[in-house]
Amino acid sequence: MMTSLSDRSNYKTLNDYTYLNQASLGLVPETAVGAMHCFLDNVARHGNALMSDQEELDFLEPIRSKGAKLLNASPDNICISSSASEILSQVPLIFQFPKKNKVVLVSTDFPSLTRHWLALKKMNNNFITKFVDDTSSSNLTESLINEIDSQTAMICVSYVQFSTGTKVDIKRLRQATNEAGALLVLDITQAAGAIPIDIINIKPDMVVSSGYKWLGGHGGIALGYFSDTLLESQPRATGWMSTQNPFETRAMELDFPKNARKYTQSTMSYLTVKGLELSVGELIELNPSRIEKHSLSLSSYLLKTIKGTKWNAFREIDSPERSPNILSLFNQKIDSKKLSHELKEKNIVCSLRNGRLRVSIAHYNSQEDIDVLLAVLL
């Protein structure tokens, strides 16, 4: 019997639910909840009487440092933002394409990666958005690479697809984009905290991750990585926090810091920052390699058990593009709404995405959780 990797008592939700939904809303550990309660209580009692301007400016440094350690990057390259969407929406402004006019995207990727490009296309008919499909019979990495040509400026893609669990080969994508002189922007929201991320070796141009899924934080915070090349350029979307010393508040001056802090636009939800600092620290202690191995064992157990039944997986157990933490299952004989109702009655929390059952497996899950789900499915 495979047990959980982390202490289940640190997640109160598990007292009442079989929770297989980290890909939708990540559970926040009690240690992080306690830190947030303490911070909020201090603010309620003292306002900002106990925090100087410099201390507020330094408040993001612990999560910047821990985020860098988790992703194997330099803290100077890490930006803290209010959301992944906020960072991604800046991409057309940050990157200028004077000679190339094509961006390659995935048709079923999370909309935060695509809608700013669609908006750009509405303003510029010469701009090309090429969508490739993530199908169970194709290799998504190959499909993306096959669309690279002399006009390709960028591939913008999620490392792990939110609805199917397809995991692209980012090393191959980086090699292919380098050879074509194209850029690579990655959304690692469905990967960071679940599988190892090695930014120093991958060398992407930009990376973003929401904080409220596998990182175990609450809403209103995201991590971003900006390459050294981007640190040499000036942001085209700025805010009052984007300057070297925001508290000098000189409206007629703009002095950017030399690190990725220049891409932080506004005041964060400091409550969320405090919680994420704790949860990311716990993920580092657990070790993403161990978390990946744990999820892989449980997801393989599930896939082996349903093999030969009427249930099928979008990515089979031997697929090189199967992620360990997200499974997409379908059964043509099952009414999805009826299944959703039955799962809810059993206090099993999963998600329906694109007509398929999405099962996400985290470090706090155990074989018992999988067996509870299988009892309903089979």
All domains of the chain, ordered by start, with CATH? 8-20+287-377 (3.90.1150.10), 53-284 (3.40.640.10)
Give the three-state DSSP class for 74. coil
Per-residue pLDDT of the chain (378 residues; tens, 9 = 90+): 899 999 999 999 999 999 999 999 999 999 999 999 999 999 889 988 888 888 888 889 999 999 999 999 999 999 999 989 888 888 888 887 778 889 999 999 999 999 999 988 888 878 899 999 999 999 999 999 999 999 999 999 999 999 999 999 999 999 999 999 999 999 999 999 999 999 999 999 999 999 999 999 988 899 999 999 988 888 878 877 788 887 887 888 888 888 888 888 888 888 999 999 999 999 999 999 999 999 999 999 999 999 999 999 999 999 999 999 999 999 988 888 889 899 999 999 999 998 899 999 999 999 999 999 999 999
Query: For 192, phi and psi rounded to 5 degrees?
Result: -60, 125
- Do the beta carbons of residue 120 and residue 92 sit within 8 Å? yes
Strands 326-330 and 312-313: antiparallel
Residue 318: name the closest of 296, 333, 285, 295 by CA.
296
The per-residue b/e assignment along 74-101, b for 16 or more CB within 10 angstroms, e otherwise, is ebebbbbbbbbbbbbebbbebbebeebe
Helix (H) or strand (E) holding 73: none
> Would you state the structure tokens that stand for residue 377, as one six-digit string?
């499915």
Q: What is the pLDDT of residue 74?
A: 97
Distance CA 136, CA 134 (A): 7
With tokens 């925090």, the residue in question is 51
Conformation bin of residue 26: beta by default, left when phi > 0, alpha when psi is -120 to 50: beta
Distance CA 172, CA 145 (A): 8
Residue 186: name the closest of 216, 225, 153 by CA.
225
The per-residue b/e assignment along 132-162, b for 16 or more CB within 10 angstroms, e otherwise, is bebeeeebbbebbbebbeeebbbbbbbbbbb
Q: How many other CB atoms are found less than 10 A from the CB of residue 165?
A: 30
Q: How far is CA 274 from the centre of its chain?
A: 19
